[in-house]
């Protein structure tokens, strides 16, 4: 008789989204049994999950079904998008994400989930620490006194507290990760929810395809950020889940770059010269960077894929999407 170790049962909420989809693939490669949950299936490639539940996690009954029999939960589901979306949908985002977060957490508790990882964001950091392009990298303790810029950040901060109290009061083994601008292939690249790296890749790809060598940039483009490639993000998530560390922790790169510089980097990946036209638009905070001291200390690791490498891979994927759509539109017009 063969003795098999039972596969660990893991749930990923938001598995139809960018990071969740990549995480499911990684978990399957590492031998877990995975249930993905989302409002939708992944858009650009099929899921590797053993089971995929289409469900609205704002609903309590859906959260109970989603977390049933699970040992670990990775809670990634959220109503979110880039600055254009986040700065224009405060009520909707706060309402939806509070319901998703509180119901998923409580359902996990009632279902006896052992470990629970919550994906928070650099958007929890106070606006008053991010007024300069040459910003001091944000340490975890900089979260308070709290003053996130948007409702999206306030919900993330409150849910961080919820996780901490569930750990204290109910003994759930929580993880709280603060992502700093994750990017890569298979992420949203158009439609209004895309973030700056994907939007820039799309604009440059369209400029290259049409020969109109100019792209629009919101604001003066001098606002700064750091960007972390998806493979590093997923690796960090797995390391953190296995770490035993229960306090909030940054997960991102600590290389600061302006949006103008990022646009040049994308143009370089595309192999074209691109002009920049600055137009009014939401820019978020003036500068934001990750301090990775705690990450290095806790995980003995930090993201290692360079921005040039990550952006080259991302650009190649988005250019292929743009070309495919362009070809389909030409075929439709001819037919
Ligand atoms: P994403 O938008 O690609 O994925 C989120 C998924 O949640 C989507 O597929 C969406 O359909 C799903 N969802 C939304 N409402 C739902 C509902 N009511 N029920 C079930 N599913 C629902 O975003 P992502 O980039 O993969 O982000 C994953 C997590 O990481 C989110 O919690 C996000 O707030 C957080 N985060 C991401 C970044 C980043 O740079 N991508 C930065 C900071 C924090």
Q: Where are the domains of the chain?
A: 9-183+229-251
For the Cβ of 316 lying below 6 angstroms from any atom of ligand 1, the answer is no
- HSE (CB half, 13 Å, CA atoms) of 151? 18
Q: Could you tell me the two tokens for 319? A: 């250019």
Atom of ligand 1 nearest to the CA of 228: 40
pLDDT for 22-77, tens place per residue? 999 999 999 999 999 999 999 999 999 999 999 999 999 999 999 999 999 999 99
Does 251 contact ligand 1 (Cβ within 6 A)?
no
CB 56 within 8 A of CB 77: no
Q: How many other C-beta atoms lie within 10 A of the C-beta of residue 158? A: 17
d(CA 11, CA 27): 10
Q: Which residues of the chain register pLDDT less than 70?
A: 1-5, 335
Identify the residue whose tokens are 């999950």. Answer: 49
Out of 116, 125, 152, 245, pick the active-site residue: 152
Output the pTM of the full model: 0.97
Assigned fold of 9-183+229-251: Rossmann fold (3.40.50)
Please state, in angstroms and rounded to a whole number, the distance separating the CA atoms of residues 268 and 274.
Answer: 9
What pLDDT, on a 0 to 100 scale, did the predictor assign at position 327?
86
Nearest to 288 by CA among 121, 160, 176: 121
Q: What are phi and psi of 200, to 5 degrees?
A: -65, -40
The reported pLDDT for the residue numbered 2 is 56
**Inter-residue contact 102 to 58 (CB < 8 Å):** no
What pLDDT score was predicted for residue 90?
97
Q: Is residue 229 within 6 Å of ligand 1 at its C-beta?
A: no
At 7 the pLDDT is: 87
DSSP helix/strand/coil, 181 = coil
Distance from Cα 194 to the centre of ligand 1, integer Å: 12
| Backbone angles phi and psi of 181, in degrees to 5 | 45, 80
Q: Among residues 50, 52, 70, which one has the least CA distance to residue 8? A: 70
245 classed as catalytic: no
């Amino acid at each position: 008789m063969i003795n098999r170790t039972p596969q660990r049962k893991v749930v990923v909420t938001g598995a139809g989204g960018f990071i969740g989809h990549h995480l499911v693939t990684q978990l399957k490669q590492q031998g877990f049994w995975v249930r993905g949950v989302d409002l939708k299936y992944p858009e650009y490639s099929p899921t590797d999950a053993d089971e995929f539940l289409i469900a609205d996690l704002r609903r309590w009954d859906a959260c109970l079904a989603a977390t049933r029999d699970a040992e670990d939960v990775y809670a990634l589901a959220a109503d979110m998008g880039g600055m254009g979306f986040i700065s224009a949908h405060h009520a909707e985002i706060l309402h939806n994400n509070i319901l998703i977060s509180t119901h998923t957490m409580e359902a996990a508790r009632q279902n006896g989930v052992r470990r629970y990882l919550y994906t928070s964001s650099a958007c929890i950091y106070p606006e008053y620490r991010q007024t300069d392009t040459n910003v001091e990298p944000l340490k975890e303790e900089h979260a308070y006194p709290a003053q996130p810029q948007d409702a999206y950040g306030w919900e993330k901060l409150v849910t961080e507290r919820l996780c901490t109290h569930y750990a204290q009061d109910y003994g759930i083994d929580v993880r709280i990760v603060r992502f700093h601008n994750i990017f890569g292939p298979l992420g949203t690249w158009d439609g209004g929810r895309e973030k700056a790296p994907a939007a820039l890749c799309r604009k440059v790809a369209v400029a290259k395809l049409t020969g109109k060598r100019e792209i629009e940039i919101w604001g003066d483009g001098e606002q700064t950020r750091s960007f972390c490639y998806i493979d590093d993000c997923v690796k960090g998530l797995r390391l953190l889940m296995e770490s035993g560390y229960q306090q909030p922790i940054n997960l991102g790169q600590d290389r600061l770059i302006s949006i103008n510089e990022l646009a040049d980097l994308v143009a370089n990946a595309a192999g074209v010269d691109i002009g920049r036209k600055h137009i009014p638009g939401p820019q978020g905070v003036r500068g934001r960077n990750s301090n990775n001291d705690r990450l290095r200390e806790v995980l003995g690791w930090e993201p290692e894929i360079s921005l040039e490498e990550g952006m080259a891979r991302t650009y190649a994927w988005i250019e292929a999407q743009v070309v495919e759509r362009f070809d389909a539109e030409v075929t439709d017009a001819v037919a």
